[in-house]
Structure 1
């Protein structure tokens, strides 16, 4: 299955988010098709979540597995903070 420009953009934004999450001590795995991140707290491994990245009318956004928006893909630091707070309570 060839990658499209949209998939390259999605993977780019997910890579930026992965860097921010790893800097906060979270374990991150990139799923290739469709692109998404599996994020967990390596200290507990009890909580894990999948986060993807989707284009909407106002730009690209990170999104929880249940469809709720985490934040703008242009601000991976803020999105990582929100994800870390949910998964670690910090």
Structure 2
């Protein structure tokens, strides 16, 4: 099955977010179909993990939590990474 242009766009943005998360000490694994990131804190004493995808909305592409709420715009992966780090490391 070949990837659609939309899947390529998702993969591109998720790759940018993965790089930002890994710089901040989290593990981010890309699941290819459908493209999503599985994010975890490898050093956390509490096993927290989250799945984040990337979707087109009326205002552009956005990262989205697993429950559907936007994390932030995909053209600012550093800001989205900060929000994700805050949530996943809040109980350290």
Q: TM-score if structure 2 supplies the norm length?
A: 0.95
Matches within 5 A, 1:2-21: 2-21=2-21
Structure 1 alignment gaps of length 5 or more:
none
Q: CA RMSD in A?
A: 1.1
- The size of the alignment, in residue pairs, is 90
Moved over 4 A (4+): none
Counterpart Cα distance in 2 of 1:43 and 1:20: 17
Counterpart Cα distance in 2 of 1:64 and 1:46: 17
Task: Indicate yes or no: 2:90 matched with 1:84.
Answer: no
Structure 2 alignment gaps of length 5 or more:
none
Query: 1:42 corresponds to which residue?
Result: 42
User: What per-residue deviation string (whole Å, max 9, x for no partner) do you get for residues 9-41 of structure 1?
Assistant: 000000000000000000110000000000000
Q: TM-score if structure 1 supplies the norm length?
A: 0.97
User: What per-residue deviation string (whole Å, max 9, x for no partner) do you get for residues 45-78 of structure 1?
Assistant: 6000000000011100000000000000000000
